[in-house]
Chains A and B, each alone.
Chain A
Amino acid sequence: MTAFLAGMALLLVAAASCAAFRRRSFGDGVFTACVIAGAAVASVPAVQVLLGATLPQLRWRAGVPGGDWVLGIDPLSAIFLLAILVVGAASAAFGAAYQARERGHRAVWLSHAAFALVLAAMALVVTARSVLLFLGAWELMALGSYVLIVTEHEHPTVRRAGLIYLVTTHAGTLALLAMFAIWTSGSRDWTFAALAANGPRLALGGGVVLALALVGFGAKAGLVPLHFWLPAAHASAPSHVSALMSGVVIKMGIYGILRVVALLGPPPAWWGWVVLAIGVASAVLGVLWALVQHDVKRLLAYHSVENIGIILIGVGVGALGAASGHPIIAVIGYGAAALHSLNHALFKGALFLAAGAIYRATGTRDLEQLGGLARRMPLTWLGFLVAAVAIIGVPPLNGFVSEWLVFQGLLRAGQSAEALRLVVFAAPALALVGGLALACFAKVAGIVFLGHPRSSQAAEAREAGAGLLAPVLVLAFACVVIGTVPALVMRPVMVVGATVAGEHWVPIAAALSDVFADAGRISWLAIGLLLVGAILWLARRAALRRQVVRTGPTWACGYPHPTPRMQYTASSFAAPLASVFGRLAGVREHRGATVFHSTPVDLVLDAAVLPLWARVERAALRLRPMQQGRLHVYLIYVVVTVVLVLGYLVLAPTR
């Protein structure tokens, strides 16, 4: 735990150094070094815990109500802590290089300091073991994220996105406050240990608490239909902030849900079904809406909705397994959720950072303006390609490992006897998500990196510098490691699953031995692919040795003058799938004799939330006459309220 505190201290030093060296050019270096060092130091206890060590909790007598302040790291904290620190350090290093150019005209130091503070706040969120500490860290994280989102506040769209984010996150916090208020009622001790002891006494088996947790943490995680703030916020922030937000900040919602489940014990079955249904809806709709986006970063943000859906499918399977007395299914489900959280942090971080590098090189995020970047930015392309293969969940990268684990849970649940077996219907839905994600990333990778440049900016792009490339490649490398040697992570992840399910590790480990063995066999896929691929490569080379290899123009089916404008566009690439799903896809198509273009519409934000908001605003205007601006009118209000409350007390039935 000392190492953890030291790491936090280093993060605070990083934040302070930004303020101290705000005009010096070496400030960036100090900032990066401090964040990386802090992350490295603080991740030591996380790794220890995941490898089986138990660390003592830290406890302070607090002067405020609500009992002691407690910090602790258990496996559930550790895996999220690891994701925060790895992605956070990579994004911070990227950010220092990314914003170096803006030093002159913007308070870059403020953005860096907020970044380090958000990192520390998130580390505190996952280690806090008492309510006030948790909520304080939660709020610090939310506000710090707001500062980061509105970094480029000169654009009105950025300010609007920030506002929507701020309102949503506080609505979520409100739900969390209500949740903790119900949970702690009648008790002076607000530590998590006391919450766990209080759990069995809650009404409806903790149903209200679980429902509020789903709303409060769900708003942060961005599950459908509470995702509406997410695409705009993640797209408007600078890219390293997007990587942090999409990679780890939304995972804090997942952490919260898992923590509540761990404290409450097996949730009721209906909650599991709700989570599973929301998970399927988020996954399918998230990827579908991603498919029709033309802004690289908005597209990636919608993919976060999809992946949160996949994670929630894991959580739902785990909850249903626990509710119906199948500890193995419960552990696999929760473990899959934890592993996919980590994996998604890694590849989504890499993707957003790569998107940032593209934006720096071309000055646009519009897919229809890009193209042919693979030739000009080969290393960015490499990092993006690896992360894309990872996110679509195909072997031999890490996305496959966690989706495989989710499928394990789904199919095992399908093989059980009771109502639990209906869970198996989520498996084809998840497969559909995989297929659609493949389509989506084929579109992004193909349109952005391959073919001819569609604009002069894309044609003149230069490869990003080492400061931007290194973080992308490090994260991509982590994806490769987990994907090719899943045996490395399988045991720690299952420990996390057992922690959430509240199962003892030793019997569970024995029952899971076949899962561990099978996870080891996944490595053979990578080895086999490499081997067969190498053989085929050699065969091809041998065949071509005596032959003429020439280059020429692309075959345009007889047309003599192909131009870049004739290439398939992002709109047209996604059009067949959008038409399959009809109105659900949320696109507006513009067809003309010579043009086809589509604009995406967010079905929740544009079609439901904003109209609803407008209506509320109009209704609120009716109350306007009450605001007279005169003191005695307000005093009358106060008196009336007091009289009403007193009257209620008099008339209300006495307990």
Chain B
Amino acid sequence: MSVTATDQPLLDVRRVTKTFGNLVACDAIDLVIKRGEIHALLGENGAGKSTFVKMLFGSLQPVAGEIFWKGRKVNISSPAVARGLGIGMVFQHFSLFDSLTAAENIALSLDKKIPLQDIAVRARDLGEAYGLPLDPDALVGDLSVGERQRIEIIRCLLQEPDLIILDEPTSVLTPQEADRLFVTLERLRAEGKSILYISHRLDEVKRLCDRATVLRHGKVAGDCDPRKETPASLARMMVGNDIKIARRDVATGGKGEARPLLEIRGLSQPPRGPFSTALHDISLTVYAGEIVGIAGVSGNGQGEFFESVSGEMRQDRADTIRIGGVAAGRAGISRRRGLGAAFVPEERLGHGAVPELPLTDNLLLSRYATDGGAFLRGGPLKILARHRLQSAVGSIVKAMDVRKSGENPDASALSGGNLQKFIIGRELARKPAVLVVNQPTWGVDAGAAAYVRQALIDLARDGSAVLVISQDLDELMEICDRIAVMNQGALSKTLPSAEVTLEKIGLMMGGADKAA
């Protein structure tokens, strides 16, 4: 290969722009990727990273700008074109098909006419070569998240791409799995392949990447060598200013005198559907004034656990769940709310709120049972008191700094962060004795995330028991007193946050503590 060919960038993106309606998701973005480098694309949620890479992969079309591939101007009109050029992609939310086998899933993304049998063989060989073992005949719906990612990566590698795009690959992995992934990526780099690595985790980027491009609000905020930056300087580029980190006063009093407000004893539950996780003998107590965190890779039963605690799924035995000392295992969610508990699910649209309904209705959604007297009139007729609902929405909006347009917009019209603040505010306004939150800051911008964390800390300080389920270890270590790990539907013992290290948690996530 001649010198000029090596110097020529593999990919050169110039002033690429994408709009959705009035929203400018990507605004004149420039990006250059050289051969054999791991290039990081950094940015907060909503900075435009996903939109940008979808344009590189042909799933979205830019409205302006140019893309040069190996020096030649190209129009990536579809993923098939991208794959033809030699661009492969591993998605963040896996684009896999639950009802198909691993081999069938791989076959779908290969343009060449290879018989299914051959694909299975090649996939197995390739997987072994890169340390990614795989059963080609397994139904994807039955696989763990880590195994699914392996399919994605093998699927991508089978096309022998020159550029591999990885969208937040470690967000679903345990630290140990992530380490293994890094080894695979470094091997690929050594073979001369280029990697575009999308992340918001600064330590990973510093450790792995040769260059980094930082996006903020759809624009390029900077271009740097991450190994020469500090996490603080990278964070500043990402966020634009120093974010306030939630602070909490060091642990208040011993548990000895504190009252247990949420008690879970021997909670087990068979899987509800074909692709859901069973829960195994979970026990946990949360005391007044503390925040307990549950870490773990998503898909290990967190959703099922949340629904069991909330009462959306009831238990057979009443004493499995106690709220404020009262056995509530057989009670539904309204009764559990009546006992002083409040719940914030992971999905905002379609679980915690109804997208098509206005905020007043969404306030009533979780409050009618406990605050019926305030929001309903007409006795047995139960007529909605619109004015009182509206003013209650107004005070939540004010207390939580929810930004919205219009008096009473539909929930779907709010941004993720603002809707999350509204939902948390809706529950906090009741001053609940117990709050259970699943993924409190998932998909939420940094400003709102800090606000939400502070609100949780304040609630605990006022004497409530708070249980936080989160994939974000940094978040848990920041706000929790104790942390446990959920793995395949079982819960580890809790550790005081002070004693927790990333490595320990990682081992627990992989299920290693059970053997010990």
Partners in one complex: no
Interfacial residues, chain A to chain B (CB-CB below 8 A): none
